[in-house]
Amino acid sequence: MILSIESSCDDSSLALTRIADAKLVYHIKLSQDQEHSRYGGVVPEIASRLHAERLPEILSKLKIFLNNDFSCLKAIAVTSRPGLSVTLIEGMMMAKTLALALHLPLICINHLRGHIYSLFINNPTPIFPLGILLVSGGHTQILQAHSQTRIAIIAQSLDDSFGESFDKVAKNLHLGYPGGPIVQEMAQNFTKTHRTPHQFPVPLAQSKQLAFSFSGLKNAVRLAIIEDSKDSPLQQENLESICAGFEQSACAHILQRCKMYFQTPSAQEIKFFAIVGGASANLRLRQEIESLCQQYDKKLLLAPLEFCSDNAAMIGRAAIEDYKCKNFTPLSEAQVAPKSLSGDFV
């Protein structure tokens, strides 16, 4: 079995994955949403301290699950990049300690590759080639995975990410953190009324560039909030209208870019398209991409909702592939990095 560790942002998580059939045997995760909520975003220093407290706490639970017997473990896997250095280091220290004490090899996993493997938890045969829309708090990308090691970046954000823009909209409206589920719920409430929401521009609408941008939309929402609350505080209906209008434009932008991708020659070789990452939980995005996939004859793959946001199960699943080709990192060379390494993507 592989013991995997995830601490790249604000989730402390551990998992046990069986190598032979990729079965997830144990999974535990403690999120820090509540602790960061009052700040409207993740505070790295607080996140790091909470990992230092909680990783040992959940390791004790895993130890009980294993009856104090670690002999079934064959490797330790850990998210080493990209992410917040001060939180990654907490997971890395635990991984190195376990690897050293138990004489096990260490596997360093790129978090974004981990998100791709959230599709194949409990499934021993990953599907390649695969087109992927990765939408998280830190990234918005279209990737094309030809094999487990050859993953090409087709498009990425010029500035902010899809998930982060939901967080910022929620912050500007004082709605809490993480913004994704909150803004989605507000938008859904407004949609029920069948009225037209506050209209925002669709980013890069006139551009042919296969890239994403959310900073302009984020700013348009910020300005609308200032304007609409000039004379009196925003009513619930205004808040919901802004959330619905923002979500509509953000999803329309993603949809336009995915459509552009489906029209490129390289997309012709893929039959499967997936949405992964924390923001892949967005229902509107799922529905709109689903109908686009039908139009372009692609089969849509989605991870179960519980594995969309950060978790160690996806890290353990990705690590099986590394274990099979003995892609181990010597303890003295294992380092954390805030960004992906140049060799991670082609």
Residues in contact with ligand KG4 by the rule CB under 6 A: 9, 136-138, 163-164, 166-167, 178-181, 184, 277-279, 281-282, 309-310
240 in contact with Zn ion (CB under 5 A) = no
* Contact of residue 180 among Zn ion, ligand KG4, none (CB under 5-8 Å per partner type): ligand KG4
The burial class, CB within 10 Å (0-12 / 13-18 / 19+), for 129 is middle
Closer to Zn ion by Cβ: residue 136 or 140 = 136
Q: 317 and 17 in contact (C-beta within 8 Å)?
A: yes
Look at strands 272-276 and 299-302 and give their pairing.
Answer: parallel
Closer to ligand KG4 by Cβ: residue 12 or 282 = 282
Torsion sign, CA atoms 18, 24, 25, 28: positive
Residue-level length of the chain = 346
> What gap in Å lies between CA 322 and CA 79, rounded to an integer?
13
90 in contact with Zn ion (CB under 5 A) = no
Look at strands 24-31 and 75-81 and give their pairing.
Answer: unpaired
Closer to ligand KG4 by Cβ: residue 107 or 116 = 116
* Contact of residue 184 among ligand KG4, Zn ion, none (CB under 5-8 Å per partner type): ligand KG4
- Spatial strand order in the sheet of 140-145: 151-156, 140-145, 130-135, 272-276, 299-302
Q: 202 and 249 in contact (C-beta within 8 Å)?
A: yes
Least Å from the CB of residue 74 to ligand KG4: 27
Least Å from the CB of residue 159 to Zn ion: 18
Structure tokens at 17: 């994955």
Angle between the N-to-C axes of helices 236-262 and 215-228, in degrees from 0 to 180, rounded to the nearest 10: 160
Least Å from the CB of residue 267 to ligand KG4: 24
* Chain-centroid distance, C-alpha 37: 18
Torsion of CA 120, 124, 127, 133, to 10 degrees: 10
Least Å from the CB of residue 223 to ligand KG4: 21
Residue showing tokens 């990410």: 161
Closer to ligand KG4 by Cβ: residue 107 or 279 = 279
From the list 260, 249, 244, the residue with the least C-alpha distance to 292 is: 260
Least Å from the CB of residue 11 to Zn ion: 8
> Interface residues for Zn ion in 282-311 (CB under 5 A)?
310
> What gap in Å lies between CA 144 and CA 345, rounded to an integer?
10
Least Å from the CB of residue 265 to ligand KG4: 30
* Contact of residue 182 among ligand KG4, Zn ion, none (CB under 5-8 Å per partner type): none
Closer to ligand KG4 by Cβ: residue 17 or 136 = 136
* Contact of residue 91 among ligand KG4, Zn ion, none (CB under 5-8 Å per partner type): none
* Chain-centroid distance, C-alpha 291: 22
Residue number of the CB closest to Zn ion reads: 136
164 in contact with Zn ion (CB under 5 A) = no
Closer to ligand KG4 by Cβ: residue 167 or 322 = 167
Closer to ligand KG4 by Cβ: residue 59 or 308 = 308
* Contact of residue 282 among ligand KG4, Zn ion, none (CB under 5-8 Å per partner type): ligand KG4
> Interface residues for Zn ion in 126-155 (CB under 5 A)?
136
12 in contact with Zn ion (CB under 5 A) = no
Structure tokens at 111: 């978090």
* Contact of residue 164 among ligand KG4, Zn ion, none (CB under 5-8 Å per partner type): ligand KG4
Query: Which residues contact Zn ion by CB under 5 A?
Result: 136, 310
